[in-house]
A and B are shown apart, each in its own frame.
Chain A
Amino acid sequence: VSLQQDFPGLFLQEEEEEEEDFVLNQTPTYTQLLAFLHPQAIELVQFLLVKDQKKIPIKRADMLKKVIREYRDVYSEIINQATRTLQQVFGLELVEIDAKHHIYILTSSLPRAEGENLCQNDETAKLGLLTVILSFIFMKGNSAKDSAVWEFLRWLRVKPGQRHSIFGDVKKLVTEEFVRQKYLEITPIPLTDPPEFKYQWGLRAAKEISKKDVLRFVAKIQGKDPTFWTSQYNDAEATS
Chain B
Amino acid sequence: MAAQMTDAHRRFLQVLMSHGIMEGSEARKLHRRCCEIHKVHYVHDKLDDFISTVNRHLQPLFMQIRKGLSESDGRAHYALVNLAETEITKMASDYTENELELFRKTMDLIISSENGFASSTDILNLADQLKTKKMKKKEAEQVLNVFVEDKWLSERNGEYTLHTRCIIEMEQFILSNYQDIARKCNICHSLAIQSQVCESCGTGMHLPCVRKYFRAQTEPRCPQCNDFWSCDIPGTKQPIFTKTESSNTRK
**Interface residues, chain A, CB within 8 Å of chain B?**
1, 3, 7, 10-11, 13-14, 17, 31, 34-35, 37, 42-43, 45-47, 49-51, 53-54, 85, 88-92, 108, 110-111, 113, 116, 120-122
Whether B61 lies near A42 (C-beta < 8 A) is: yes
Whether A113 lies near B37 (C-beta < 8 A) is: yes
B217 within 8 A of A: no
10 residue pairs, one from A and one from B, having the closest CB atoms: A91-B10, A34-B60, A113-B37, A122-B18, A122-B19, A89-B57, A3-B59, A121-B18, A1-B83, A110-B7
Give the interface SS of chain A, mostly helix, strand, loop or mixed.
Answer: helix
B37 and chain A: residue at smallest CB distance = A113
Which residues of chain B have C-beta atoms less than 8 A from A120's C-beta? 14-15, 18
Which residues of chain B have C-beta atoms less than 8 A from A7's C-beta? 55-56, 59
| A116 CA / B57 CA spacing, docked (Å) | 25
Which residues of chain B have C-beta atoms less than 8 A from A31's C-beta? 56-57
| A239 CA / B37 CA spacing, docked (Å) | 23
State which of A14, A110, A121 has its C-beta within 8 Å of the C-beta of B2.
Answer: A14
State which of A10, A49, A50 has its C-beta within 8 Å of the C-beta of B56.
Answer: A10
State whether A110 and B10 are in contact (beta carbons under 8 Å apart), knowing that A35-B60, A122-B20 are contacts in the complex.
Answer: yes
Which residues of chain A have C-beta atoms less than 8 A from B98's C-beta? none
Whether A89 lies near B58 (C-beta < 8 A) is: yes
In angstroms, how far is the closest chain B Cβ from the Cβ of A207? 15
Whether A91 lies near B61 (C-beta < 8 A) is: no
In angstroms, how far is the closest chain B Cβ from the Cβ of A208? 12
In angstroms, how far is the closest chain A Cβ from the Cβ of B105? 23
Which residues of chain B have C-beta atoms less than 8 A from A1's C-beta? 83, 172
B82 within 8 A of A: yes
Which residues of chain A have C-beta atoms less than 8 A from B58's C-beta? 89
B7 and chain A: residue at smallest CB distance = A110
Chain B 88-111 interface mask (CB, 8 Å, partner A; 1/0): 001001100000000000000000
Whether A91 lies near B14 (C-beta < 8 A) is: yes
Which residues of chain A have C-beta atoms less than 8 A from B213's C-beta? none
In angstroms, how far is the closest chain A Cβ from the Cβ of B176? 11
